[in-house]
Structure 1
Amino acid sequence: MATNTSIPRIVHLAAIIGDSVTKIHEVLSAQNVPTPSFDEDTPTSLPKEVSDAQDAVLDATAELFDLLLEPLTLVYKYHGHNNSVCLQAIARFSIASIVPFGGQISFADIAKETGLSEQIVVRLIRHAMTMRIFREPEPGIVAHTQASKMLASPVINDWLKVGSEEMWPAAVKMPYKKWPGSAEPNETGFSLANNTTESIYTIIGSSPERASRFSNAMEVFAARPEYDPLYIIDNYDWASLGPTQVVDVGGAQGHIAMSLARRFENLNILVQDMDKVVEKAELGVPEELKGRVRFMAHDFFAPQTIQADIFFFRWILHNWSDKYCILILRAQIPVLKRGTRLIIQESCMPEPGAVALWKEKDLRAEDLNMGAVFNSRERTVNEWAVLLKDADPRFVLKGVTEPKGSALGIIEVIWDGVD
């Protein structure tokens, strides 16, 4: 990537890194926050005030690293399938939970605990160490880093298992030729990897162990700071609506609904989801929210039966191809009144170069994951607009808000049909 000045690109990148690190250090010092470290007890996130400098230094260091590699080495680095081999073993044998917090253990003892040979344990863990997962404080001895200590959590280990046991096998089976252009959820890489004609919903749902593991993985994924409920609470003017009936379509056990109801007393929220999801959900509603947060079993492909002022879809439509998203949207039409709103909280894919490259890379990887597992995709703002129009021209896109730091945009849609 050339610049318009005579300064060599690598020198320019080094200057960006130096300036950005200085800014980060100044903020950390002012807030008395420890500097980043791989030590197992180091804080896991940086203050929001350094996010721009963080983006700059991450992109610049990555570009500088890539510039200094030969092309074949660069491609090999990104090929990286052996990273998944290593991570799969760590998850499958719960290796992180074997290493004591604040202590250490030998490769030989890990081999005894897992039933693996010492040779393969050494090879796997030393490969993990190149990714900053575990460390070897002295020859033959393993201790935690920040990342490996995190993986000792059973819930986070389940997240890693889903990535390596469910997502990775699906990704390498992407059906480019077998089902080109398919919109069906059972014609996916996941279907091929599981040697089935069923969708992920059927396969995962038929195994309590896999279902529990997948649920834990989604819990970990959604708990990341960029999915904080505060983004939808703080960046949409719920208070100005007056008394408002909201239907949270596919709202699971009401986590977001209860967060909204706590903040805004003008909201009454009905959470709709599958019967087995909402069966006992009322038990989790705090006393002060009872009557304002309720639950109802409902299939969002079936015609909607509840009238409301707002229908809220959070992180639902990205699981489905356009064909099925259109069916979900059209299913709401029977009860819509002129001026009824749909609030859709979903990822809005950026145009190339519009966000930090390290973030864009993660988004594009997630887009491929959705294709491999669900035959769905992430969408740009323009693609959301086209999807809404295809569902019904009376769905009018009023505006899109993309809060800084949030993984999800807020898409506001108005129903412009007759009552």
Structure 2
Amino acid sequence: MASPNTTANIVELAAQISTAVAQLQEQLSAQGAPSPSFAEDSPENFPPNVSHLKDTILDATANLHEMLLDPLALLFKFASISNLVSIDAICRYKIPDMIPPGGQISFEEIAEKTGLQKGVVRRFLRHAMAMHILREVEPEMVAHTSISKFLTIPYINGWVNFESKDTWPATTRVVDAIQKWPNSQEPNETGFVLANNGKTVQEVVTTDPERAMRFGTGMQAINHVPGYAIEKVSTVYDWTSLGDARIVNVGGSRGQAAIELAKNFGNIKLLVQDGAGMIQGAESGVPEELKGCVEFMPHTLFEPQTVEAPVYFFRMVFRGLGDKYAVEVLKAQIPVLRPGVKILLQDVVMPEPGAIPLCRERVARAVDLALECFSNGRERYLDEWKALLAAADKRFVLHKVYVPKDSLLGILEVHWDESGAGEV
């Protein structure tokens, strides 16, 4: 991969694109997979073994496109907030759901169904069409693209609702929050708090059922981020190496990850810990055949750990916390730790610039800013993880980092080592 400080010229980029596209098409044809398109029935994902070619093409085409833009045009591309307006509008009015599969609908019909004027409908839809969301198959007749078809998934529609009503207003206040509370790690000193009359995310979701539902529905969309789906938790680490272990899943929500692990590894048992309100009724979601393998216990992150076990598992917990609070969570485990105990942290190790394809790096850095917006949390680089562990206790020793191909979400395996030796 090229250094981030060196950029190919337009001829070199064009050659990269041509070569990689030819290789991609050859691979797809050999596997009987369709070529990418905006067709309504185009598959969402590529075969796994062509991901490197996809990354190469995305990076080269992005660099070529952006190299040819004037400075203002490039800034407008990345700074424009109007794109979300039309996406919000078509999702809020559920316009994709109005289009019959394989069929079409007129601007006039959409206007009647939404109660909007035809001119307003045309304005929103043609803006969305310029982004390949929907298509105008003939004058004023609307049909699906693969993107608008994707928006008919209820929780994806819910994610757009969450982004427009919750994320967007809060994001506009991030820099205000930084100016007001420089270097803060407090969850009540964020852009979200400024945009919500002084309320934190926790205060909002516990007092406003509608917004709590929106948060929950929106979070399901994360399953479409490579490596983040619950189903992938079984492949990110060699769980069989733990033997007949009992795993305490700290901050395990309603047991989604624990259930997935229990389904795939019959030799492990999992105790899910979370707040009493979060786990209330969660047992009902455990399949009957796994009832003895997944159990629940009310326990919050900052309470001293009371359950002795050989393994403690945290999935996407620390990214939502500033270092000050992440250290407290680690320290809370110490009362029950013994030599040889493993602490498995499923989280992100941030890449250095140029270490991964640009298309994925941009996603990682955008998510990092979202964590700042909502909770003053952050993604961490490897040196920051090591510093965090050392700040909690020198006996937390980072043994190994597992990051699967095509995913930033991996496992940091930490050992409780009273000798303090063996760090990676």
Give the TM-score, by structure 1 length.
0.94
Letter in 1 for 2:223: A
Residues in 1 aligned to 2:95 and 2:306: alpha-carbon distance in whole angstroms? 50
* Paired residues for 1:84-99 under 5 Å: 84-99=84-99
- Please state how far the C-alpha of 1:99 moved relative to its aligned partner: 2.5
Residues in 2 aligned to 1:8 and 1:102: alpha-carbon distance in whole angstroms? 42
Q: Does 1:46 align with 2:46?
A: yes
Match of 1:329 in 2: 330
SS state of the match for residue 138, structure 2?
Answer: coil
- Aligned CA distance change for structure 1 residues 57 and 369 (closer, same or farther; 3 Å): same
CA RMSD of aligned residues (A): 1.8
Q: Quick check: 2:347–2:409 contact (8 Å CA) kept in 1?
A: yes
Residues in 2 aligned to 1:320 and 1:253: alpha-carbon distance in whole angstroms? 20
User: Cα deviation per residue 1:121-179 (whole Å; 9 max; x = unaligned)?
Assistant: 21111111111101111111111111111112222110111111111111111112111
Q: Quick check: 1:273–1:299 contact (8 Å CA) kept in 2?
A: yes
Residues in 2 aligned to 1:331 and 1:192: alpha-carbon distance in whole angstroms? 31
SS state of the match for residue 178, structure 2?
Answer: coil
Match of 1:183 in 2: 185
Q: Does 1:292 align with 2:299?
A: no
Match of 2:355 in 1: 354
Match of 1:123 in 2: 123
Letter in 2 for 1:244: A
* Paired residues for 1:181-220 under 5 Å: 181-196=183-198, 198-220=199-221
Q: Quick check: 1:27–1:50 contact (8 Å CA) kept in 2?
A: yes
Residues in 1 aligned to 2:267 and 2:191: alpha-carbon distance in whole angstroms? 45
Q: Quick check: 2:315–2:347 contact (8 Å CA) kept in 1?
A: yes
Match of 1:161 in 2: 161
- Between the aligned residues of both structures, percent identity stands at 47
* Paired residues for 1:142-161 under 5 Å: 142-161=142-161
- Please state how far the C-alpha of 1:374 moved relative to its aligned partner: 1.3
Q: Quick check: 1:278–1:295 contact (8 Å CA) kept in 2?
A: yes
Q: Does 1:406 align with 2:423?
A: no
Letter in 2 for 1:59: D
- Please state how far the C-alpha of 1:279 moved relative to its aligned partner: 1.5
Match of 2:262 in 1: 261
- Which stretch of the first structure deviates more once superposed, 253-262 or 392-401? 253-262
Match of 1:317 in 2: 318
User: May I ask how many residue pairs the two structures share in their alignment?
Assistant: 413
Residues in 2 aligned to 1:41 and 1:104: alpha-carbon distance in whole angstroms? 14
Q: Quick check: 2:36–2:42 contact (8 Å CA) kept in 1?
A: yes
* Paired residues for 1:212-231 under 5 Å: 212-229=213-230, 231=232
Letter in 2 for 1:103: G
- Please state how far the C-alpha of 1:84 moved relative to its aligned partner: 1.6
Unpaired runs of 5+ in structure 2?
A: 420-424
* Paired residues for 1:104-123 under 5 Å: 104-123=104-123
Residues in 2 aligned to 1:76 and 1:234: alpha-carbon distance in whole angstroms? 40
Q: Quick check: 1:348–1:381 contact (8 Å CA) kept in 2?
A: yes
Runs of 4+ displaced beyond 4 Å: none
Letter in 2 for 1:294: E
Letter in 1 for 2:126: R
User: Cα deviation per residue 1:163-212 (whole Å; 9 max; x = unaligned)?
Assistant: 1111111111111211111111111111111122x211111221111111
Q: Quick check: 2:38–2:145 contact (8 Å CA) kept in 1?
A: yes
- Aligned CA distance change for structure 1 residues 263 and 8 (closer, same or farther; 3 Å): closer
- Please state how far the C-alpha of 1:229 moved relative to its aligned partner: 4.3
Letter in 2 for 1:220: A
Match of 2:422 in 1: none
- Aligned CA distance change for structure 1 residues 230 and 183 (closer, same or farther; 3 Å): same
- Please state how far the C-alpha of 1:231 moved relative to its aligned partner: 4.5
- Please state how far the C-alpha of 1:29 moved relative to its aligned partner: 0.7
Match of 2:283 in 1: 282
Letter in 1 for 2:332: A
SS state of the match for residue 331, structure 1?
Answer: helix
Letter in 2 for 1:160: V
Residues in 2 aligned to 1:176 and 1:89: alpha-carbon distance in whole angstroms? 31
Residues in 1 aligned to 2:248 and 2:83: alpha-carbon distance in whole angstroms? 42
Residues in 2 aligned to 1:297 and 1:111: alpha-carbon distance in whole angstroms? 50
Residues in 2 aligned to 1:20 and 1:71: alpha-carbon distance in whole angstroms? 28
* Paired residues for 1:384-403 under 5 Å: 384-403=385-404
Q: Quick check: 1:231–1:406 contact (8 Å CA) kept in 2?
A: no
Q: Quick check: 2:223–2:230 contact (8 Å CA) kept in 1?
A: no
Q: Quick check: 1:396–1:415 contact (8 Å CA) kept in 2?
A: yes
- Which stretch of the first structure deviates more once superposed, 109-118 or 137-146? 109-118
Q: Quick check: 1:231–1:403 contact (8 Å CA) kept in 2?
A: no
- Please state how far the C-alpha of 1:8 moved relative to its aligned partner: 7.5
Letter in 2 for 1:17: I
Unpaired runs of 5+ in structure 1?
A: none
Q: Quick check: 2:228–2:409 contact (8 Å CA) kept in 1?
A: yes
Residues in 1 aligned to 2:298 and 2:307: alpha-carbon distance in whole angstroms? 12
User: Cα deviation per residue 1:204-234 (whole Å; 9 max; x = unaligned)?
Assistant: 2211111112111111213444224454423
Q: Quick check: 1:97–1:153 contact (8 Å CA) kept in 2?
A: no
User: Cα deviation per residue 1:331-359 (whole Å; 9 max; x = unaligned)?
Assistant: 11111112211100101110001000111
Letter in 2 for 1:306: V
Q: Quick check: 1:23–1:50 contact (8 Å CA) kept in 2?
A: no
